[in-house]
């Protein structure tokens, strides 16, 4: 089982998305999304390569993958096999082009 590590950027985005959801769509909707995020995080710990590959690895960057949370959001991450860690880089709005991700 891999350890899941959230970047500061991803943590901040998660909090922002959940607060926005609670304010605009209700506390119950935000709690549902929080549960979906938690479920996906657990899945990644057990199956790190289950997400879709977004970008191939280069000498300067590991392979970037994404795991869809729901219709609106996906976790963007990479796997560090040496450390047995999954690094979550961002929560991506699935309605945007993945080519617009930083570093692409």
In this predicted model, which residue has the larger pLDDT, 71 or 101?
71
How remote is the C-alpha of 101 from its chain's centroid? 13
Please give the Cα distance from 34 to 24 (Å, whole number): 15
Q: What is the pLDDT of residues 11-24, one digit of tens each?
A: 999 999 999 999 99
Predicted structure pTM score:
0.87
pLDDT for the residue numbered 11: 97
Distances (CA, A) of 61 to 1, 18, 36, 41, 90: 23, 29, 28, 22, 15
> Measured at the alpha carbon of residue 59, what is the angle toward residues 53 and 61, in degrees to the nearest 5?
45
Buried-state track 75-93, b at ≥16 Cβ within 10 A, e below 16: bbbbbeeeeebbbbbbbbe
């Amino acid at each position: 089982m891999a350890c899941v590590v959230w970047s500061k950027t991803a943590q901040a985005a998660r909090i922002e998305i959940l607060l926005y959801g609670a304010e605009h769509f209700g506390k119950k909707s935000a709690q549902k999304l929080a549960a979906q995020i938690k479920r996906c995080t657990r899945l990644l710990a057990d199956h790190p390569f289950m997400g879709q590959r977004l970008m191939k690895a280069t000498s300067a960057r590991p392979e970037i993958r994404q795991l869809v949370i729901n219709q609106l959001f996906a976790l963007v991450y990479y796997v560090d096999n040496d450390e047995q860690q999954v690094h979550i880089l961002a929560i991506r709005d699935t309605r945007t082009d993945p080519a617009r991700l930083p570093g692409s």
